[in-house]
């Protein structure tokens, strides 16, 4: 590999919009100022380039200058959302398998999944229909993810819509079998339902997962996979705590919630200071993170009756849904006014 | 006293770092391309400040965002892209304000040194 190729590799650390404008120019400067005979950048020079890239990425208020704004972000999310939820389901599965190997009932596998109902510790305690529903919900997640990864927008939209309706029905049955328990609803509604709803919004409002895949070239796939695993592990950890640590003190629960909050806030801040696309993607995943926090809040603080938590948490969920409605409305209106056709993306 | 008169300038309330001052100074005489700025800054500072490409382009990005400089023109030289930058009117004003501030500080320092020496 020659000097220029090595410089090019270092310049890939710069934000995409900066690279598009300045890469060739910077290469010219670097090659002109390079000492004759050198075949690789010096340590100081490499560090200087990496520091420059970090400075530019971390500059607060970098302009939201990408051309398609929310439409492109939603296109990425239409792939990233289902992948994230599938990763979450798979990790939940693995955690449950590990749990059963440790000598606990295998029935927990059903109730351990992110789509499962944490109110049951043994499958025998659950309504048989609920067990079936949980499995179908998991399969539904996998179908949406596979179709999205294949770039099939229409099919993925239909699957996601069926999934949302189906999961809504599941929530209703869940509430019924738990005698209207707010806790039963709270453990299942926020993350899984909001994730399926945001995925449907992304599929409908953007040019679809085909465009999303196009935008996620190169190492973006690596970051998506890594982010999905980390995020899913955080949520999976939450389920593990909720299901199997009933004897842990409320203080430990609070501590866990604080840690989760800190992780989410740090991730959001990091994404916010990066590219425009990253900021918008952070908002969408922030909705999921917010839903996860609501779950924590509901589990810890739901004591029945008209408490502050019982009023504030549903209000927060309503806020999330309203934000999603506004998002899809604004995106589609902007697409229409700019002459784009958001309804005929790659299928 | 100086602080209030200089810092009332609407362009910025922050003290300018030396590399930034030198980059703006380099552009004060006319448009320059990236490599030209690097060599000019080294010359102006008598070799004391040597900008590297990463530092230079991070500064150019920031100054451009702040509206202190802008693109002048592009050229292809030896199959390499050269982009020339120039000061904007606010950039010129900001450099002038910084020059006044530095000169005032230097004058006070010189005056006190002469008093102490005398």
Tens of pLDDT, residues B47-105: 999 999 999 999 999 899 888 999 998 888 888 888 999 999 999 999 999 999 999 99
Asked whether residue B42 carries a pLDDT value surpassing 90, the answer given is: yes
The answer to whether the CB atoms of B52 and A24 lie below 8 A apart is: no
Report for A24-28, A221-225, A265-269: range of highest mean pLDDT: A24-28
Q: What is the share, in percent, of chain B residues with pLDDT greater than 90? A: 64
Give the ipTM of the model, two decimals please.
0.83
Contact criterion met (CB < 8 Å) for B61 and A18? yes
**pLDDT score recorded for residue A62:** 55
| DSSP result, A231-267 | HHHHHHHHHHHHHH-TTS-HHHHHHHHHHHHHHHHHH
Radius of gyration of chain B (CA): 16
Q: For the whole model, what pTM was predicted?
A: 0.47
Instruction: Identify which of A170, A267, A159, A149 has the alpha carbon closest to the alpha carbon of residue A212.
Output: A149
Other CB atoms within a 10 A radius of the CB of residue A121 amount to 16
Query: At CB < 8 Å, which residues of chain B contact A?
Result: 34-35, 38, 52-58, 61-62, 65, 80-83
pLDDT tens digit string along A179-222?
444 334 434 455 677 778 888 888 888 888 888 887 776 656 66
Instruction: Say if the Cβ atoms of A44 and B34 lie within 8 Å.
Output: no
Helix (H) or strand (E) holding B114: helix B89-117
Least confident of A9-13, A71-75, A329-333, B4-8: B4-8
Kindly indicate the confidence band of residue A330, based on its pLDDT and cuts at 50, 70 and 90: low
Predicted local distance difference test score (pLDDT) of residue A294:
64
pLDDT at A99 over 90: no
| Residue of A33, A53, A63 with shortest CB distance to B35 | A33
User: For all residues of chain A together, what is the average pLDDT?
Assistant: 66
Residue A220: what pLDDT?
Answer: 62
The interface residues of chain A toward chain B in range 217-276, judged by CB-CB distance below 8 A, are none
Report CB contact under 8 Å: B81, A28.
yes
Comparing CA positions, the residue from A208, A175, A178, A197 lying closest to residue A291 is A197
Rg (Cα) of chain A, in Å, rounded? 23
A123: pLDDT strictly greater than 70: no
What's the CA gap between B35 and B32, in Å, rounded?
A: 8
Greatest mean pLDDT among A30-44, A91-105, A308-322 = A30-44
- Is A25 part of the contact surface with chain B (CB cutoff 8 Å)? yes
| CA gap A48, A42 in Å, rounded | 10
Question: Is A20 an 8 Å CB contact of chain B?
Answer: no
CB-based burial, A273-286: b 16+ in 10 Å, e otherwise: bbbbbbbbbbbbbb
Q: State the pLDDT at residue A214.
A: 78
Partners of B82 on chain A (C-beta within 8 Å) are 25, 28
Check CB contact of A53 with chain B, cutoff 8 Å.
yes
Percentage of chain A modeled with pLDDT above 70: 39
Percent of chain A with pLDDT over 90: 7
């Amino acid at each position: 590999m020659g000097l220029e190729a090595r410089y090019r590799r270092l310049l890939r650390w710069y934000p995409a919009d900066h690279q598009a404008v300045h890469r060739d120019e910077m290469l010219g400067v670097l090659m002109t100022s390079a000492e004759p005979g050198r075949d690789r950048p010096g340590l100081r020079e490499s560090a200087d380039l990496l520091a420059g890239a970090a400075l530019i990425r971390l500059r607060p208020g970098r302009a939201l200058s990408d051309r398609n704004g929310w439409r492109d972000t939603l296109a990425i999310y239409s792939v990233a959302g289902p992948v994230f939820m599938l990763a979450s389901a798979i990790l939940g599965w693995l955690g449950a398998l590990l749990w059963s190997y440790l000598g606990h009932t295998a029935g927990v596998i059903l109730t351990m999944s992110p789509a499962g109902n944490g109110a049951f510790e043994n499958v025998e305690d659950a309504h048989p229909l609920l067990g079936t529903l949980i499995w179908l919900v998991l399969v539904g997640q996998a179908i949406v993810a596979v179709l999205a990864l294949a770039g099939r927008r229409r099919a993925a939209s239909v699957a996601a819509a069926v999934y949302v309706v189906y999961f809504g029905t599941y929530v209703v049955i869940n509430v019924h079998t738990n005698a209207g328990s707010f806790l039963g609803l709270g453990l299942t509604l926020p993350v899984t339902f909001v994730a399926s709803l945001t995925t449907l919004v992304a599929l409908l409002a953007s040019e679809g997962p085909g465009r999303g895949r196009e935008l996620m070239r190169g190492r973006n796939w690596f970051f998506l996979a890594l982010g999905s695993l980390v995020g899913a592990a955080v949520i999976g950890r939450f389920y593990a705590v909720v299901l199997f640590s009933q004897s842990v003190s409320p203080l430990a629960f609070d501590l866990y919630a604080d840690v989760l909050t800190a992780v989410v806030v740090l991730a959001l801040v990091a994404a916010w200071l990066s590219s425009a696309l990253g900021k918008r993607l952070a908002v969408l995943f922030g909705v999921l993170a917010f839903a996860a926090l609501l779950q924590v809040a509901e589990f810890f603080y739901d004591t029945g009756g008209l408490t502050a938590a019982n009023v504030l948490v549903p209000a927060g969920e309503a806020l999330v849904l309203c934000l999603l409605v506004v998002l899809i409305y604004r995106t589609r209106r902007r697409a229409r006014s700019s002459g784009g056709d958001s309804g005929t993306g790659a299928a | 006293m100086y602080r209030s008169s200089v810092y009332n300038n609407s362009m910025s309330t922050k003290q300018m770092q030396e590399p930034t001052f030198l980059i703006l100074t380099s552009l004060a005489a006319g448009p320059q391309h990236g490599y030209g700025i690097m060599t000019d800054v080294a010359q102006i500072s008598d070799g004391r400040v040597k900008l590297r490409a990463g530092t230079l382009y991070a500064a150019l990005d920031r100054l451009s965002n702040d509206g202190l400089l802008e693109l002048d023109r592009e050229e292809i030289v030896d199959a390499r892209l050269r982009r020339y930058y120039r000061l904007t009117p606010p950039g010129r004003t900001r450099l002038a304000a910084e020059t006044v501030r530095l000169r005032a500080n230097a004058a006070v320092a010189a005056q006190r040194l002469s008093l102490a020496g005398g």
